[in-house]
Chains A and B, each alone.
Chain A
């Protein structure tokens, strides 16, 4: 039995062609959509879908790359910890090349910092258990998709009575960012493709109010080419008919109520807070932080960390890119002074960053 069948089937070319055809048949005017999640941007670019649908369907790439929006200050804090002799900072691989004020975690390692990439936060717990004399800090970034994983990890650390494990938390929440975009005065977005895996955890019932207020369709969408096209098709249907509803085009992964167990785990460990999104600014209720009851495992309370004022390189326009105001090639530094091997900002580094996606897939089409 091919366990990849639920991946392969959603990359089927004939089905994709049919969906593109249907989209073109259905629309009578141009529409502008925003796909929220970086993984969706990646899929749209990798399979040429964005290109195929343009210009009748314009896809604006949303700020859905949690690596890109992790605030500079958070990375700098992680770096401070990495340079302590008694600490090892563990992190998802994605974060390692993102530039902080002076170093990235990877270049910090070259400069003597203690940094280690792990696949899962629970692996960091196992590391802490195996090495009781070192402090293991896990850099907890990511959306609500990832918060359950870090919540599980910290609960395990508590269950094991570990004194040498803590989280440096910089989780972000998607819906407040969508709200900020919808409320911005120059918002071009006419419909949202909502982040499918965030919805797998959180459900989509909370979008009813969003849709009612902003009159913008929200379509829960997955990541494989077929999923993406189904999402676009549904958005186009609604727009053509003047409707604005919440629809689920990822029903085989997402239920309206999401995953109750996952949400409970997150709720037990985290509370909502305001959070600065790199390149965008402060988003009200845009983040998660550890609850007071879990302060024992909060790296910001365990270690003395100085908060330095931070500044992005002047030329970096990641804020405009992340808010969907410009496409990466419209940035003067794109492809020249800013490239994956010497990025000015986060969206050029992260595999899901809009700038990196453009650099990789669309450069040939930029004249």
Chain B
């Protein structure tokens, strides 16, 4: 349960509290999503979308912090061994 994907708020389409909607971008496509749970989100924010609604705003500062920390520590394992694909 809980297939939910982060997407970027491109533009607001409707600010009515019941029908709040915005265009959210995922990889190469955009879709209208329900925004009643995140009425304060602004363009450029990332939201997490489940079943067509944004359930929360992504804390990008925290996400970036985690990503940076993951990248900083060196891996102590062997390099990725790809299946033998020809050059």
Q: Report A's interface with B, CB cutoff 8 A.
A: 1-7, 9, 12-15, 17-18, 21, 37-39, 64-67, 92, 119-123, 142-143, 145-146, 148-149, 152, 155-156, 159, 195-198, 200-201, 223, 226, 251-255, 258-259, 261-262, 265, 352
Give chain A nearest CB distance to B86 CB in angstroms.
22
B1 touches A156 (CB 8 A): no
Q: 6 closest pairs, A vs B, by CB?
A: A120-B52, A197-B2, A14-B75, A252-B63, A15-B70, A252-B62
Cα–Cα, bound, A226→B70 (Å)? 9
Chain B residues with CB under 8 A of A15: 70-71, 73, 75
Interface residue tally on B, bucketed by range: 35 or more
Residue contact B26 to A18, C-beta cutoff 8 Å: no
B residues within 8 Å of A by Cβ?
A: 1-8, 18-19, 25-27, 34, 36-39, 46, 48, 50-53, 55-56, 58-60, 62-63, 66-67, 70-71, 73, 75-77, 80
Q: Across the interface, do A123 and B19 meet the contact criterion of CB distance under 8 Å?
A: no
Rounded to whole angstroms, the CA-CA distance of A119 and B50 in the bound complex is 9
Chain B residues near A145: list those with CB within 8 A: 1-2, 4, 50, 55
Given contacts A122-B34, A143-B2, A149-B51, 8 further A-B contacts (CB under 8 A): A1-B8, A15-B73, A38-B1, A39-B3, A251-B59, A252-B58, A252-B62, A261-B37
C-alpha gap A7/B39 in the complex (Å): 24
For the complex formed, measure the closest distance between the CB of B50 and the CB atoms of chain A, giving whole angstroms: 6
**Residue on B nearest A17 in the bound complex, by CB:** B77
Residue of A nearest to B63 (CB): A252
Shortest CB-to-CB span from B63 to chain A, Å, is 4
Residues of B within 8 A of A9 (CB): 63, 67, 70
A159 to B52: give the CA distance in the assembly, Å: 19
A21 to B72, CA, bound (A): 16
Q: Using Cβ atoms and an 8 Å threshold, which residues of chain B touch A254?
A: 56
Instruction: Out of A14, A146, A148, name the residue touching B1 (CB < 8 Å).
Output: A146
Sample (8) of A-B pairs whose CB atoms are under 8 Å apart: A1-B8, A3-B27, A9-B63, A148-B36, A197-B55, A200-B55, A253-B48, A262-B37
B52→A198 contact, CB < 8 A: no
Cα A123 to Cα B53 in complex, Å, equals 11
Report chain A residues within 8 Å CB of B63. 6, 9, 252
Contact B76 A148 (CB under 8 A): no
State the CA gap A92–B28 with chains docked (Å): 24
Separation of A261 and B54 alpha carbons in the complex (Å):
11
Give bound CA distance, A259 to B53, whole Å: 13
Q: How far is the CA of A67 from the CA of B2 in the complex (A)?
A: 11
Residues from chain B with Cβ under 8 Å of A259 in the complex: 37-38, 55-56
Smallest Cβ distance from A289 to chain B, in angstroms? 18
B53 to A: closest C-beta gap in Å: 5
Please tell me if the beta carbons of A7 and B19 are within 8 angstroms of each other in the complex: no
The distance in angstroms between the C-alpha atoms of A253 and B36, with both chains bound, is 17
User: Which residue among B18, B37, B67, B75 has the maximum number of chain A CB atoms within 10 Å of its CB?
Assistant: B37
Checking B2, B48, B60, B71 against A39 with a beta-carbon cut-off of 8 angstroms, the contacting residue is B2
Tell which of A67, A146, A352 has the most Cβ of chain B within 10 Å: A146
Report the bound CA distance from A122 to B1 in whole Å: 18
Q: Is the CB of B76 within 8 A of A198?
A: no
A198 / chain B contacts, CB cutoff of 8 Å: 1-2
Chain B residues closer than 8 Å to A146, beta-carbon distance: 1, 50-51
Which listed residue, B19, B53, B59, touches A120 by the CB 8 Å rule? B53
Cα distance, A326 to B51, chains bound together (Å): 31
